Amino acid sequence: MNDEILICYDGSAGARRAIEAAAPLLSGRRAVLLNVGRPRTRAESFALMTPATLDWDHVNAASAREIAEQGTMLARRAGFEAEAKGGVASPVWKTIVAYAEEIDAALIVLGSRALSPVGELVKDGVSHKVAEHAGRPVLVVPPPEPAHELANGA
């Protein structure tokens, strides 16, 4: 395993928080910021049958790359030596695991929506699936606790 880490970045607050949480522990290391965009939807596929065809996979891949570039800027400000990778694939968790294997990442960092255990199973939470199948260390950064829960001691 090399020193390189894989940071999953989709532009969400959870992804930004994951970079912020990883920085004090791992800054100065080389990081790949990966955003896996979604393949075209049914509606987009239907639109492809029209005469004015638009290459949705290309559009979605370009968008994924742009979002990864935004994450790279955040990661660099946080002290990482970062590069962006973006593309389109499904399921997202499997693509993350495969890419981590491809680059032999020392660690995968990603945010979580903090679904309940039942929610993770029902909604196929990406962080849960990655941690379950990665075969390497995974840092899952949960969202902050709401202030009212902290005040009540929950």
How is 50-94 classified by DSSP, letter by letter?
Answer: SSS---HHHHHHHHHHHHHHHHHHHHHHTT-EEEEEEEE-SSHHH
**pLDDT above 70 coverage of the chain, percent:** 75
What three-state secondary structure class fits 33? Answer: strand
Domains of the chain: 5-151 (3.40.50.620)
Which residues are CB-contacts of 140 (< 8 A; sequence separation ≥ 6)?
Answer: 110, 111, 112, 127, 130, 131
Q: 64-108, pLDDT tens digit by residue?
A: 999 999 999 999 999 999 999 999 888 999 999 999 999 999 999
Q: For residues 134 and 107, what is the distance between their CA atoms, to the nearest angstrom? A: 9
Top pLDDT among 91 and 44 is at 91
Q: Which pLDDT does position 55 carry in this prediction? A: 60
Q: Which pLDDT does position 122 carry in this prediction? A: 46
pTM: 0.80
| DSSP percent split of the chain into helix, strand, coil, nearest 5 | 50, 20, 35
Q: Which pLDDT does position 117 carry in this prediction? A: 53
Top pLDDT among 84 and 56 is at 84
